[in-house]
Every structure is written in C-alpha cells, then in structure tokens.
Amino acid sequence: MNKISFAPALVVASSLVLSACQPQVVEKIVEKPVEKVVEKIVEKPVEKVVEKVVEKVVAPTAVPNPDRVINDVEKGATITFWTFFLSPTFDGYIKKTIDEFQKAYPEVTVKWEDHQGKFLDEYRAEIAAGKQPDVANLSGDWIAEFAEKGLLMDMDAALTPALKELYFPDIYGSRNVGGKSYGLPWYQSVGVNLVSTDIISKAGFTPDKVPTDFNAYPEFCKAVREKAGTPCGLALGNNILRAMAYQGDVKVMSDDGKTYTFDNAEGVKWLQTYADMVKSGSVVKELLTEANDRVGLDQFAQGKIPFWASGPQLVRVVREANPGRYGYIALVPGAAGKSGKYPPSPMFINVAKGTKFPKASLALAQWFTNPRNQLEFAKIVPIYPATPKSYDDPFFAEKTTFIENSVRPIAKNIISNQKNIMPDTPKAKEVNDLLKTAFEQAVLGGKDPAAVLKDAATKANALLK
C-alpha cells in the first residue's frame, strides 16, 4: 500500500483532536453592504427639426426669342394687318402666328383683317381716307403703284444685310421700283398648269404633252378646240409688260432705262400670236385680260377649259368647288416662253411708309416672312417659301399621294431657277393700262398690232418726260 496516500487523512484527524480540546474561536465575517453607485442617465427628448418646404414660384429669366430680330420696337404699338383671300381657310395659322409674334414682341398689339375680291379698291380707299393699313399682304403686281407714290417702306433701307439674305435674291428683288425693294416676299408659288386630263385625252394628249413653251400654245390649243370642243384659258394678269418679256422675249425698255421699246418686232409678233388664237376660237377671249384669276380657276373647276396657269395651292379651291374633278387633275410645269426663264411670283408683305409704328410694323412683316413661319405655312398648304433655309426641313423630301403636293420634292430647284429679267419700269401701272387698251384693240377689236403698240409706246414715253 502506498504510504503517501494516508498523510492527508492523518493531518485532518490531528486537527480535529486539537480543535476539540481548545476553546473555539469563531471569526465572524460581516459583509457590509456595498454601496451601489448608480449613474442615472436621463434621456432628454430630442427636438425634431422639421424642415418646411415652401415652394416659391420664381419667373425664370426670359430667354431672348431667336426670331425677335428687330430692335427698338415702339412700346404700346397697335398696328393693323391686312391679308388677301386667306380667311376662313387659314384662320388658325394666321391667328397662331400673330399670337406667337405678340409673345415675342409683347409691346405690340395686332389687329388682323382679311380682304378678298375688292381688296385693291378697299386698300386704295383707306389710303384716300388717311387710314392706310400699317402692314398689308400685296400682290407683286400691285406694289409699283403704291411705291411710286411714296406709300411703302423701303426695305433695302430698313433691313440689315443679314436679314435681306434670308430670301432668294431674285425673289426679294423681283418687284423693285427705282432699284429699291418695297416688300418682303412671303409665300411663293411654283408656276404650273393645272390640267384636266379627261379633256386633253379627247384630243389625244397626255399631261406630258401640254406645252412648256409659250410658242407651242397656238397649235396645241387649236387641236384641243377642234377635237375636244374646249378652248384654252390663257390670261395676262395685271402685268402685260412682264408677259411680253417672259413669253415673247420682248425687250420692253432701252438699256439706259429711259425709253419704252415694247413696240419692236418681237412685241408686234407676240401681240399677233394672241390675235390669231382669238380669231381661230382656240382661246376664251374674255379671260385674256381678266384681272381676277379666280374667274379662270372657276371655269377650270367646271371643266370648261383644258388647263389653267396657277399655283399648286389652288388645287384645293378646285376640290372644294367641284370634288368630282379632283381625280382628273394633273400638274405640269408652266410655259417658259422664248426667254427660257420663269418669273418669280411671290405674294409680299408690305409696310406703310407713313405708319406711326415703323419698327413694330417692320417686325410683323419680317416675322410672317421668316424661314420658320414660311415653313409652317407650307406644311398646311402647298405654297413654297421664298426663304432657302426653309427647304432644309425633311418635310420637302417626303413623298405624298396628294396631287397638289406632287411638285414638293423639286420645288427648291424650280424656285432657285426663277429669275427676274424685268428692268425697272417707271410708271408701271399707267403703262400697263396703256398696253391693256392696245391689247384689246388688236386682239379683240381687230386693229393692227404694230399700230396700237406704237401708239402705246409713244404715250408711255410721254409719261417719263
């Protein structure tokens, strides 16, 4: 047995014997309470800061309208604006464009009026009464009459070079008087013939056989009259001088611009051509000197003439007057004549020289004729802008099934090739009146073309002295 294992037991036993013999000492352990130090954490309520969002409407700084290009416009200006034959068809466009103008030029108020068949007489009457409209939509053939009387603003002096460059040069200057331009070209027509395909087919013709040269008219019109029983509708309009120059390549003025020369051999031949067509019955003589082109357009709509020289935008008038004819209409280029050139034929917007608000009036004229607004007008009616930049829009490359829009893709090319070959023609209205009388005497009255032209030239040159 292992001795070591007993040692602890003996020690314990000895201890017990001794403790039993001695007085017992008891050590009392008193546990004192431990003071607890409590750190009281007082949570104070956190004040919530609520941000109140107050929406304050602040008008942004106005961004200058890029189309506002006329400076120093009179504040509080109220101007009148006359248009020609545009209401009610284009009320929406005119009112919208005026509204946008007044936002760009808030200092101006525009009062718009549309005048129609009696426009020219009413415009003259307002001038006589001292109430000439501030801004008016004039036909190019009317400008000379009012410019020569000092009634229209000189646009060459009023516009900066940059603004004049917005327009095709030959269109901007196509109605110059005394070497100056008195209007801004607005919507531009592409010269075409509206053709009644059912009528010409009776004479064995297709649209591509309609003459594009004035000199081919006599033979063509004679054939249609004989085979289809329908005479042609030709018209000189209000400017016989221009008709002579473009159709007959007639030199109407001397090189120095001091003498009318339309009684030359080319002039006599041109007049004789019309006299021969009337004599053969191949043209409607009443239409030749009719000033209102809507008369001929109405006859075309009724199927009384095989074609009518006009603009594609007037197809809509035919469709409205006689919907059944729409499917029989084709558009072909107008006749160029011996000159080989096509005349520009824009409508203009003109400003009264005596307006009380020249800057405001000029601003409105420029606004309607700027590239953007001419483009917008072209999108709702088949007219063509007199501003090259407008044609950059994809709209002009779009294909269309509408007859009136069939020339759209080539319109810019046609218009850019329109050339103004007319010299400055002083006393143009009076001279055209003399020529109208001479024309009626020779073509309708049977008088000698050479004699009546010589008389007209003598009287015209007397006006220049």
pLDDT per position as a tens digit, 417-437: 788 899 989 999 999 999 999
322 pLDDT higher than 60: yes
| Residue-wise pLDDT tens digits, 198-239 | 999 999 999 999 998 999 999 999 999 999 999 999 998 888
Q: What is the chain's mean pLDDT, rounded?
A: 87
User: SS3 of 37, please?
Assistant: coil
Lowest-pLDDT choice from 112-116, 259-263, 287-291: 287-291
Q: Which pLDDT value is given to residue 417? A: 79
Give domain 77-189+344-405's CATH architecture. 3-Layer(aba) Sandwich (3.40)
Choice among 22-26, 127-131, 143-147, 185-189 with the minimum mean pLDDT: 22-26
Of the pLDDT bands very low, low, confident and very high (cuts 50, 70, 90), residue 138 is very high
Q: What are phi and psi of 350, to 5 degrees?
A: -120, 155
DSSP helix/strand/coil, 219:
helix
Residue 117: count of CB within 10 angstroms of its CB: 11
> Is cis: bond before 88, omega within 30 of 0?
yes
Residue 112, number of CB atoms within 10 A of its CB:
18
DSSP 418-452: B---PPP-TTHHHHHHHHHHHHIIIIIT---HHHH
- Check pLDDT > 70 for residue 289: yes
The number of residues making up the chain comes to 465
User: What is the pLDDT at residue 208?
Assistant: 93
Which neighbouring-strand residues pair with 185?
348
Write out the two tokens for 362: 């000029």
- pLDDT reported for residue 443: 96
Computed on alpha carbons and rounded to an integer, the radius of gyration of the chain in Å comes to 45
At residue 450, the pLDDT reads 98
Our measurement of the distance from residue 359's CA atom to the centroid of its chain's CA atoms, rounded to an integer in Å, reads 21
Task: Determine what percent of the chain is predicted with pLDDT higher than 90.
Answer: 69
**Model pLDDT, residue 52:** 55
Whole-angstrom distance, CA of residue 257 vs CA of residue 178: 10
Crossing angle for the helix pair 91-104 and 371-378, to the nearest 10 degrees: 160
C-alpha 133/C-alpha 81 separation (Å) is 6
> DSSP letters of 180-193?
B--SEEEEE---EE
Residue whose token pair is 């009264």: 352
Higher pLDDT, 238 or 266: 266
Largest CA distance in the chain: 182
> Mean pLDDT across the stretch 160-172?
95
Cα 316 to Cα 85: distance, rounded to the nearest angstrom: 13
pLDDT digits (tens, 9 = 90+) for 55-108: 555 544 445 789 999 999 999 999 999 999 999 999 999 999 999 999 999 999
Encode pLDDT of 5-54 as tens digits. 333 333 333 333 333 334 444 444 444 444 544 455 555 555 555 555 55
User: Is it the case that residue 413 has pLDDT exceeding 90?
Assistant: no
Write down the pLDDT at residue 293.
84
| pLDDT grade for 2, boundaries at 50, 70 and 90 | very low
Domain boundaries, the chain: 77-189+344-405, 192-341+423-463
Q: For the beta carbon of residue 454, count every other beta carbon within 10 angstroms.
A: 16
Burial class of 318 by CB neighbour count within 10 A (0 to 12, 13 to 18, 19+): buried
The pLDDT assigned to 48 comes to: 52
What is the pLDDT at residue 7? 37
Q: Which pLDDT does position 304 carry in this prediction? A: 96
Decide which of 266 and 237 is more confident: 266
Say yes or no to pLDDT of 240 above 50. Answer: yes
Q: 372-379: long-range contacts (C-beta < 8 A, 24 or more apart)?
A: 372/67, 373/97, 374/186, 374/187, 376/93, 376/97, 377/90, 377/93, 377/187, 378/187
Please give the CATH topology (third level) of the domain spanning 192-341+423-463. D-Maltodextrin-Binding Protein; domain 2 (3.40.190)
Q: First and final CA of the chain: distance in angstroms? A: 170
- Tokens 């050339």: give the residue: 419
**Shared fold status for 77-189+344-405 and 192-341+423-463:** yes
Q: Name which of 364, 320, 317, 311 is nearest 140 in CA terms.
A: 311
Over residues 318-332, mean pLDDT: 94
Cα 192 to Cα 35, 246, 291, distances in angstroms: 116, 15, 18
pLDDT tens track for 371-411: 999 999 999 988 899 999 999 999 998 888 889 888 888 88
For residues 304 and 24, the model is more confident at 304
| Residue pair 285/440 in contact by the 8 Å Cβ criterion | no
Say if residues 168 and 385 touch (Cβ distance below 8 Å): no
pLDDT grade for 453, boundaries at 50, 70 and 90: very high
Task: For residues 330-353, give the mean pLDDT.
Answer: 89
